Amino acid sequence: MAVMFGDRLAAEVDRKRSQLVVGLDPIPELLPVELGGDIARFCCGIVDAVAPHAVAVKPQLAYFEALGPSGMTAFGEVCAYARRAGLLVIADGKRGDIGSTARAYATAYLEGDAPLADALTVNPWLGRESIEPYLAAARRRGAGIFCIVKTSNAGGDVQDVTLSDGRPMWQHVASLVADWGEDLVGESGISAVGAVVGATHPRAVGEARRLMPQSPLLLPGVGSQGADPADLAQAFTSGPASALVNAARSVNYAFRESGSDYRSAAGAEAARLKEVLWTVSGW
C-alpha cells in the first residue's frame, strides 16, 4: 500500500526541519546569460542549491508550457532531477475540468510507472466530480493535491462573494476541501488533500486553518509578492508539517540582487527563509 502523501510530507519536514517550498519559475529573459536560455539547466541548478533547505519544489507549468514541446521536455527533466535529489515535487498546473478530463490529468501527473510529480495543484471550483480522479490517485498512489481556495491575488469578485449564510464563497470551498480529505489523513494527522491560500491574506490564512485543521496549507506570496512570514504563525498550529510556504522568484533570481553565482544566491536565500519559517512556526 502506498504511503500517504501527508505522512511523506511530515517525514520530510521533520527530517529537514523546514517548511520551505521553492517555486521554479524559469523566465528565459531573466536567466543568467551564460545559460543561453536553457531552462532545464537553470532549474536543476536551483534544485542543487535549495535541496538542503527545502522540502519540495513547485515547478510552475505555465512557464514550461510557454516554450512549447521543448519546454515540456524540460519540465519532465526537472521533475525527475528534483525527485532524485530527494525533494517532493508539486506540479503547479491548477488543473480543473470535468471527470473524464480530470482523470487524464491525474494519470499524466500523478500516476503511471514514473509519475511526474508527488502532488498537483488543482482547481476545485467545478465541484466534487472534477476532484474525484485526484482523490483516487491519492488513495492508490499516495499522491497529494492542493486545491485552490483563496489565491494570493485580490480575487474578491468571485472568492469573496457573500453567500446566503454570510460566509464568503472561498470559505464554503474550504469546508468542501476539508470533507474531501477526511478519509485521506495519514498517521501524521496530515491529509493528502491540501489547500492553496495566499500568504498575502494573513487573516484568511488563520480562518483557513480553522476550517481545514488536517489539510496542509500551501502558502504562496512570500518574497516578490510582499507577504511577511511573521504573519503566518497561525498556519502551523496543526503541526510543523501543516503548512508549507512557497517562495519562487525571490529565490530563483536572488543573484540579480546579490551579484553572486545564481546557485549560491539561491541557496543562501533558501537557507535564510528556512530558518525564518521554522522560527515563525514555533516548532
Q: Which of 58, 94, 150, 274 is catalytic?
A: 94
Q: Which amino acid, one-letter code, is at 106? A: A
> What span, in angstroms and rounded, lies between the C-alpha atoms of 57 and 244?
11
Name the phi and psi angles at 86, rounded to 5: 85, 15
Closest Cα partner for 163 from 150, 177, 173, 153? Answer: 173
Determine contact, residues 150/208, Cβ cutoff 8 Å: yes
> What span, in angstroms and rounded, lies between the C-alpha atoms of 57 and 36?
23
57: helix, strand or coil: strand
Determine contact, residues 189/238, Cβ cutoff 8 Å: yes
Take residue 28 and report the three cell numbers written for it.
528565459
Beta-carbon neighbour count of residue 160 at 10 Å? 15
Active site residue 94: yes
Cite the active site residues. Answer: 94
